[in-house]
Amino acid sequence: MILYKEALKLTINAAEEFETERINFGEALGRVLAEDVLSDTDMPPFDKTAVDGYACKRVDIFSDLLVIETIPAGMKAEKAVKSGQCSKIMTGAKMPEGADCVIMVEDVEELAGNKIRLTSKDTATNICYKAEDVKKGNVILRKSTPIRPQDIAMFASVGYTKPLVYKLPVVGVVSTGCELVEPEQKPEDAQIRNSNAYQLLAQAELLKCKTKYFGIAKDTEQSLDEIIKKAFAECDVVLFTGGVSMGDFDLVPKMLKENGFDIVYKSIAVQPGRPTLFGKHKNKYVFGLPGNPVSSFIQFELLVKALLYKLMGYEDKNVKLILPLSKDYSRKKSVREKWIPGVITTNGEVEPTDYHGSAHIHALSYSQVIFKVPLGVNELKKGDLVDVRQI
Ligand code: AMP
Ligand code: MG
């Protein structure tokens, strides 16, 4: 049994980054950037007004001012603003020459003779200055960053329309177990529905991976062997669920070894999910995840995600929230770190949810987070800080 942090390190170190490709920036959400992106422009590109109002000289704001023109956004001013004058200007329009401040339309009274007067005590400057946000040539996003909606807005702003990103892994999923039937089928006595495979496919799809489902393998050497050969011919990473623990018919590790895989680890000091296997053969990666759906869900979060991100060019820094616990917690054994489903209360505390163990998949449905009870810790008090991951 190895510690989680060792398993994480072994997983990340085993992963070799994929090649890169150029795609359309509108399809880049969730992909990982493979080069630094520079701005081709100052942002803003010119001094512009932040409000609808009247552009004038600050020294003039307490005098009545003559309105000399109206400047819509997208149009250049035709006249320079002189002493005693102002130009009506719309949000986003380029500032006219001679003006160094904009009085908001809300702070102005219109007078006869096309004049205006300030009605408030003072005014802010209300100008967004050229290059105050980004200078031409600045790096706007670094290599190895996962792309979010706000990054796509930046790509649009600087005209970076063909981002270079890492290629996506193809992830296969195989369920194992003679007790399993597919969801459309009504289970007979001693059978259960296969939920795990669909959960894992969805978890991989959330990371933008391409997925392939290979069905349910029986707990026999022949069935596993056939499916292993087929899955690895088509995928970069294959996730097996079930058949990796100590039962007489847990044959996945044996059959992976027979197919040339090195088993990097097969038991980790984490609850749930001790019998989690990770292996590699050439440029193919395999996880053998426990059959219980909460265990496989959590091990995907803790380890599979780290592998997939690394293949996609991003080292998951394992960023987590640290929040106070809403009530006391205790457990008898502490030889493994434990992850427990929870919700975040309106006070910003973590509340453990009603949870009966690793088969209790419904507990994850009404949870928002999982939180950690560290290895060696038997008791936590209300208010103690715990590591939290959103799920
Ligand atoms: P195993 O890891 O094969 O010993 O399975 C552990 C438990 O998880 C058993 O109760 C299995 O019936 C259950 N299980 C295994 N595979 C799945 C699956 N694909 N979906 C739901 N439950 C499963
Ligand atoms: Mg099984």
The answer to whether the beta carbons of residues 63 and 159 sit under 8 Å apart is no
**Atom number of ligand 1 nearest to Cα 219:** 3
**Atom number of ligand 1 nearest to Cα 197:** 19
> Does any ligand 1 atom lie closer than 6 A to the CB of residue 180?
yes
Domain ranges of the chain: 4-17+168-311, 21-42+135-166, 48-128, 321-390
The answer to whether the beta carbons of residues 199 and 160 sit under 8 Å apart is no
Which bound ligand lies closest to the C-alpha atom of 201?
1
Residues whose Cβ atom is located within 5 A of ion ligand 2? 177, 242-243, 291
Weakest mean pLDDT among 41-50, 287-296, 311-320, 324-333:
311-320
User: Domain 4-17+168-311: which topology?
Assistant: Molybdenum Cofactor Biosythetic Enzyme; Chain A (3.40.980)
We find that the CATH architecture of domain 21-42+135-166 is: Alpha-Beta Complex (3.90)
The burial of 281, by beta-carbon neighbours within 10 Å (0-12 exposed, 13-18 middle, 19 or more buried), is given as middle
Task: Return the pLDDT at 14.
Answer: 97
pLDDT at 199 over 80: yes
What average pLDDT does range 368-390 have in this prediction? 97
> Does any ligand 1 atom lie closer than 6 A to the CB of residue 195?
yes
pLDDT at 31 over 70: yes
Backbone angles phi, psi at 228, to 5 degrees: -60, -45
**Which stretches of 62-158 are DSSP H helices?**
149-158
Task: Return the pLDDT at 320.
Answer: 78
The answer to whether the beta carbons of residues 341 and 369 sit under 8 Å apart is yes
- CATH number for region 48-128: 2.170.190.11
> Does any ligand 1 atom lie closer than 6 A to the CB of residue 183?
no
Q: How many helices (H) and strands (E) does the chain have?
A: 8, 28
We find that the CATH architecture of domain 321-390 is: Beta Barrel (2.40)
> Does any ligand 1 atom lie closer than 6 A to the CB of residue 290?
yes
Strand, helix or coil at 221? helix
Which bound ligand lies closest to the C-alpha atom of 276?
1
Task: Return the pLDDT at 318.
Answer: 65
Distance CA 227, CA 217 (A): 7
Strand, helix or coil at 311? helix
pLDDT at 33 over 70: yes
Strand, helix or coil at 169? coil
How many angstroms separate the alpha carbon of residue 256 from the centre of ligand 1? 19
Model pLDDT for residues 70-123, shown as the tens digit of each residue: 999 999 999 999 999 999 999 999 999 999 999 999 999 999 999 999 999 999
* For ligand 1, atom 6: residue with the closest CA: 291
Site to substitute for ligand 1 among 173, 182, 193, 196, most atoms within 8 A of C-beta: 196
pLDDT at 319 over 70: no
> Which residues make beta-bridge pairs with 118?
108
